[in-house]
Amino acid sequence: MKSCIVEQPRTACAIGGFYTALAIPGIVPVLHCGPGCVSQSAALLASANGAQNAHPFNEHIIPCTDFGEADVVFGGGERLRKNIENVARSYKADMILAINGCSAEIVGDDNEEVARGFSGGDIPVLAVEAAGFRGNNLYGHSQVLKAILNHVEPTGKAVGGQVNVWGVAPFYDTFWAGTLEKIGEALTEAGLAPNIIYGRNGGLDKVKAVPSAEFNLLLGPWVDLDIVRLLKERFGTPYFHYPAIPVGPTETARFLRELGEFAGLDRNRVETRAKEGEERYYHYIRRSLLWVYRCRALPKRYYINSGASTALSLHRYLVNDMGLIPCKIFLPEDVPEEHQERVEGYFRDVELDSPYDVVFTGDGGLAAQEIAASGRPKWSLFYFGSVWDEPLSNNERIPFLSVSAPQGNVMAMDKTYFGYDGALRLYSDYYEQVASKGLRTS
């Protein structure tokens, strides 16, 4: 259910799903929406979110009908068709998505019919509905993926060890690129053959290979659950659902063990990897302990205001490895009602029995209001959020990390908090914040 009125939304609208298409090299989205819709989504999902920029089809060259008054009156289907034709002619495109936004949906422009007109051509053209009033960018993400995957033909046989990776929403998850690269490396190390459709090494060949996977790996609490179910239905591929992108030694080892069990991996190999990772992780932690203990007043409790996937990964690490205590966790991404109970259960599944609320909302402003009014001494808190949470943390001098869209003045590059090494980044980001807020006294 959509929240009624929301302050400073942390999600873009459905049209922002075009970023999922841009994350798969070779796909060009052709938008049938207002002239400013791209710049609206681009701010939240990319430029103000880790200084991201799509490549090679960057935001400024996305073909768009720039839906105008005449289209409202007469319909804009013909202009959409012409745009697609010219993309096929001039763009290095392997697949085209014709995406409908609000205006086109309200006036009833039929992008499916336009797409059908191109069937049998050299380049597949698929229709996607992504009206902003139907949902946020995660709805758009799902719409885009479904259209693409429904187009994929079964390959007939499974390739040994191949595993498709799902659950990471490109661009919206600021660290998606680095995270997926590292997940790929971890799976390869475990003896599997990862197939990741997004990013530097992704592409349509990876999309076409999706049906030949031995299983699908879903990393995350709810996003893409519909996708792995769809793949099970269409191709009979089983899926392994691990609810959090693992961060830190406890979660990463747990993930590797459960994955090993599911995929029948060599147990010794899994244990050796976990041991190595742990050894390296604690080596660096030990080297910085003195510095940490000189932070005399260490915050112990935290608030998170972020997307569910990020929040869950952080939460499990903060509780299980860093020994912190949650105050309250806000998930301002309109998690669909059908998933809420399950998602909350994932948050409770940590090695700490302590009462705290998990709040499902679309309103990004709730967290700041509550923290400001909480009456807790601000130095005793740590606050994870997005750029909109920063003013409060600056005014009140609450140690703060921007971890969720829109992250603000952050350059993501290949950064990730995934696994053992990622946890070291998070650990150091955390204490650098504590120090820069003046809590480290000698």
- Let me know if 353 is exposed, middle or buried by CB neighbors in 10 A (0-12, 13-18, 19+): exposed
Q: Of 20 and 137, which CB lies nearer to another protein in the complex structure?
A: 137
CB 95 within 8 A of CB 148: yes
Least separation in angstroms between CB 422 and another protein: 25
Residue 67 or 418 with smaller CB distance to another protein: 67
Least distance in angstroms from the C-beta of 105 to another protein: 8
Measure the CA–CA gap between 383 and 429, rounded to whole angstroms. 12
Asked if omega into 406 is within 30° of 0 (cis), the reply is yes
Q: Is residue 286 classed as helix, strand or coil in its secondary structure?
A: helix
Which CB atom, from 344 or from 389, has the smaller least distance to another protein? 389
Cβ 232 to another protein shortest distance, Å:
28
The nearest distance, CB 439 to another protein, in angstroms, is 23
Query: What is the distance, to the nearest Å, from the Cα of residue 312 to the centroid of all Cα atoms in its chain?
Result: 12
Q: Give the Cα separation of 237 and 216 in Å (integer).
A: 7
Integer Cα distance of 367 and 389 in angstroms:
8
Helix H or strand E encompassing 316: helix 308-320
**Could you tell me the maximum CA-CA distance found in the chain, to the nearest angstrom?**
71
Q: Which is nearer to another protein, 111 or 252 (CB)?
A: 111
Shortest distance (Å) from residue 302 CB to another protein = 21
| Complex with another protein: residue 172 or 242, whichever CB lies closer | 172
- Per DSSP bridges, beta strands 215-219 and 162-166 are parallel
Nearest 10 degrees: CA dihedral of 326, 334, 13, 93?
A: 80
CB of 45 to another protein, least distance (A): 8
Nearest to another protein of 36, 345 (CB atom):
36
